[in-house]
């Protein structure tokens, strides 16, 4: 499909760190309706993917040419503590939104995750068989399976370790490190036995745009080239903020955080972007290039804090 100013794109679950980037990219080129259960921006309307009748009505009234579903509970420990909510949001919610795509016969993008793999090997391509370990991974994989099996024109796009949204919206690893630094920490404990592929929301949103215009439906791994450990990301982030001489980044094993992060995580969730590369649809930049760009948002925030 060709995305033009009158193309109508409905985005569910758009209130988070990925939603910010996706809304920004698509609203520059198309007519967008963005919804979430947390209406935290002026451009958001309320819709809950768990509410079949409500979200169906919201989508139908807008009359989209394509539907993007970003809605998910990604806090792995919250999924373990409240499994019903995880299943209702990540699995049933995915079905609810997908049913509208089927009914309206429009392309549908569903965001899945590298976490659906079990870590049996170091790298996973688009065709490898998932083996989800946690409630989060199992519920996301259930959503992925429904979309793949039921929506004729689907894009299932798997992300890795997400980074984006800046100090205000980033709920993931980079901002967790930054909050420690902003709080004055000079000693960071970071695991080096969990491996993955960072995924910058800005590039990811651009990739979704290119995929939607391609009409090459299917399942795609979409992550930044290059792979690393959590320790590698933290150490590089500290360097980019100019704090290497003030902050020690110490390697620890996952056992160090066993009580706090108790959901089962794969040893490696590194994704290979085989299909995107083969179809000339790969837009993601190297993770270190993206982290350098992203770190500028935190450097600016640090400067503001220093002046306050």
Q: Report pTM.
A: 0.94
**Each residue of 93-144: pLDDT tens digit?**
999 999 999 999 999 999 999 999 999 999 999 999 999 999 999 999 999 9
Separation of alpha carbons 79 and 68, rounded Å: 22
Q: Over 70: is that where the pLDDT of 173 sits?
A: yes
For each of the domains in the chain, give its residue range(s) and CATH number, in order of start: 8-167+196-228+267-286 (3.40.50.720)
Grouping H, G, I as helix, E, B as strand and the rest as coil, residue 221 is strand
pLDDT of residue 227: 84
Interatomic CA distance for residues 59 and 98, integer angstroms: 11
Please give the pLDDT value at position 305: 80
Q: Express each pLDDT in 183-212 by its tens digit.
A: 889 999 999 999 999 999 999 999 999 999
Q: What is the pLDDT of residue 206?
A: 98
Q: How far apart are CA 132 and CA 265, in angstroms?
A: 9
Taking the C-alpha atoms of residue 30 and residue 7, their distance in angstroms, rounded to an integer, is 5
Provide mean pLDDT across the span 143-155. 97
pLDDT attached to residue 308: 67
pLDDT at 171 over 90: no
pLDDT at 165: 92
> 223-252: per-residue pLDDT in tens?
999 989 999 999 999 999 999 999 999 999
The average pLDDT across 21-50 equals 96
Tens digit of pLDDT for each residue in 174-189? Answer: 999 999 998 889 999 9
**What distance lies between CA 235 and its chain's CA centroid?**
22
Q: What is the pLDDT of residues 132-145, one digit of tens each?
A: 999 999 999 999 99
pLDDT in tens, 36-85: 999 999 999 999 999 999 999 999 999 999 999 999 999 999 999 999 99
What are the φ/ψ torsions at residue 70 (nearest 5 degrees)?
Answer: -105, -5
Task: Determine how β-strand 195-196 pairs with β-strand 228-229.
Answer: antiparallel
pLDDT level of residue 306 (50, 70, 90 thresholds): confident
- H or E element that contains 159: strand 154-159
Quick count: other Cβ atoms within 10 Å of Cβ 107?
Answer: 21
Task: Report pLDDT digits (tens) over 255-294.
Answer: 888 888 889 999 999 999 999 999 999 999 999 999 999 9
* Buried b / exposed e along 67-93 (16+ C-beta atoms within 10 A): bbbbbbbbebeebeeeeeebbbbbbbb
């Amino acid at each position: 499909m060709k995305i033009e100013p009158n193309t109508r794109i409905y985005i569910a679950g758009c209130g988070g760190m990925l939603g910010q980037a996706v809304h920004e990219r698509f609203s520059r080129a198309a007519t967008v309706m963005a919804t979430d259960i947390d209406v935290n921006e002026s451009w958001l309307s309320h819709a809950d993917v768990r509410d079949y009748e409500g979200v169906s009505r919201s989508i139908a009234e807008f009359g989209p040419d394509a539907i993007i579903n970003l809605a998910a509970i990604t806090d792995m420990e919250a999924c373990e503590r409240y499994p019903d909510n995880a299943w209702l949001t990540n699995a049933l919610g995915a079905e609810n939104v997908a049913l509208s795509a089927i009914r309206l016969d429009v392309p549908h993008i569903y965001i899945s995750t590298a976490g659906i793999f079990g870590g049996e090997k170091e790298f996973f391509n688009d065709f490898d068989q998932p083996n989800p370990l946690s409630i989060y991974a199992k519920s996301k994989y259930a959503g992925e399976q429904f979309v793949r099996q039921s929506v004729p024109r689907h894009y299932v796009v798997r992300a890795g370790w997400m980074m984006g949204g800046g100090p205000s919206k980033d709920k993931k690893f980079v901002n967790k490190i930054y909050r420690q630094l902003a709080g004055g920490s000079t000693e960071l404990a970071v695991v080096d036995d969990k491996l993955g592929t960072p995924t910058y929301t800005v590039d990811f949103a651009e990739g979704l745009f290119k995929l939607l215009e391609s009409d090459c439906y299917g399942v795609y791994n979409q992550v930044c080239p290059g792979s690393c450990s959590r320790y590698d990301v933290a150490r590089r982030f500290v360097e980019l903020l100019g704090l290497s001489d003030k902050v020690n980044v110490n390697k620890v094993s996952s056992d160090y955080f066993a009580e706090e992060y108790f959901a089962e995580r794969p040893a490696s969730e590194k994704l290979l972007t085989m299909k995107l590369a083969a179809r000339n649809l790969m837009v993601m930049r190297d993770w270190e290039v993206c982290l350098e760009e992203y770190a500028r948002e935190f450097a600016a925030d640090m400067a503001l804090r220093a002046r306050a």
